[in-house]
Amino acid sequence: MSDHRFERSPYPAHPNRCVAAGVHGQCNNLGLKDGDGNYLPNCLVHGGQGQLVNNKKKALQNYNITVARWRRQLDEKKGSTEIKSLRDEIGLLRILLETRLNRCEDEHDLLLQSAAISDLIMKINMVVQACHKLESSMGHLLDKQAILQFAQVVINIISTSVTDDAQINTIADSILAHVKEVA
């Protein structure tokens, strides 16, 4: 791990010199060292600590998927980047199912793949249930009553700014209708 101190560049053209520039030209410090001994583009003063933190966050991704298409698909399918989450696994299983289905060109292919497809569907179901249970135990899910209470708070806030009762009723009815759809 870096000791997070300033290192002066031993000569002006050093390849690891901080890229930031000020009124006197380019910064004379070396970029901040990361945990592997590599230099970041910026020194401690010019944002190196933030770069170090961002690099550590990126390293915490659950899977090191190097194929850009798969990384993009996984990012589309997951909704959270939290460490205690099964959403990555759900996303991966859905990618596998989608890929298997897309390889079926006719009914015969579909029948041949039916056991594998059924198995993937069962696995997705199990992981989704486990994810729901985990998120529920961590307090990440709202029940219907909590959503209704939140809707009432929103309606009360709106009613302090809107003076037309007919408009307030229209807004309230619309909010409650949407709550009933999702809850």
How confident is the prediction along the chain (183 residues), in pLDDT tens digits per residue? 445 677 888 998 999 999 988 788 899 888 888 877 888 898 888 888 888 887 776 655 656 666 677 777 777 766 545 555 678 888 889 999 999 999 999 999 999 999 999 999 999 999 888 888 877 776 766 667 777 788 888 888 888 888 888 888 888 888 888 887 776
- Amino acid occupying residue 156: N
Tell me, what's the pLDDT at 2? 43
Q: Give the dihedral sign, CA 5/10/12/13.
A: negative
Tell me, what's the pLDDT at 161? 86
> Tokens 């909010």 sit at which residue?
175
| DSSP H helical ranges for 18-143 | 48-59, 68-77, 87-102, 107-112, 114-137
Rg (the chain; Cα; Å): 26
Report the distance separating Cα 72 and Cα 151, nearest Å.
Answer: 34
> Tokens 């001994």 sit at which residue?
37
Tokens read off for 57: 């966050």
